[in-house]
Amino acid sequence: MAQTNLERQVETRLREHEIRLTEGRRTLIQALGKADGPKSAADLHSRLGDQVPLSSIYRSLSVFEDAGVVSPHYSTKGVTRYELAEWLTGHHHHLVCVNCGVVEDIEIDDRLETQLEAIVEEIGRDVSFAPVDHALEIDGNCRQCQ
């Protein structure tokens, strides 16, 4: 259900941008929809086997990024990870494993998010900067690395 709704939302966005939704791209969206955090092209490729060649994964992620369907996440040297954009999944933050680099999404409850936004707004006022987004990253050891 949520998955099908996801595909419909993505279809609509891509159509608005006059971008085609091919089978390979649909497969990519499904894989990102099932992921528990940002995934690199290599992660996605190993998960999907030969369904979508690596070159198509890179290219489609780039097209999706331009269309605002995915967001890049940078936490490892030389590797970019992608996740579905927040308008599709909701605002969230990241846990980053300091050992292996895996990134996990976390949603925090409204009370904490409100507090965090207040902090961000106050910082913005202090340095005359209008925040358009914010990201809280918490570094530690993931379950596999503990």
Partner DNA sequence: GTTGCAATTGATAATGAGAATCATTATAGT
Partner DNA sequence: ACTATAATGATTCTCATTATCAATTGCAAC
Residue carrying structure tokens 């390979």: 24
Q: Among 63, 70, 71, 82, which Cα is nearest to 17's?
A: 63
Query: In 3-state terms, what secondary structure has residue 46?
Result: helix
Residue of 78, 110, 127, 144 that binds DNA (CB under 7 A): 78
The DSSP secondary-structure symbol of 5 reads H
Least separation, in Å, of the C-beta of 101 and a second copy?
A: 10
* 77 scored as a contact of DNA (CB under 7 A): yes
Provide the 10 A C-beta neighbour count for residue 57: 25
Decide whether 24 or 124 has the Cβ nearer to DNA: 24
Handedness of CA 40, 75, 59, 34 (dihedral sign): positive
From residue 26 to residue 55, what is the string marking binding to DNA with x (rule CB under 7 A)? --------------xxx---------xxxx
When asked if residue 141 is in the footprint of a second copy (CB under 8 A), the reply is: yes
Q: How many CB atoms lie within 10 A of CB 74?
A: 10
Give me the sign of the Cα torsion angle 18, 55, 105, 73: negative
Number of chain positions touching DNA (CB under 7 A): 28
Contact positions toward a second copy, by CB under 8 A? 72, 74-78, 80, 93, 95, 98, 106, 108, 112, 115-116, 119-120, 122-124, 126-127, 129-141
Contact positions toward DNA, by CB under 7 A? 14-15, 18-25, 40-42, 52-56, 58-63, 77-80
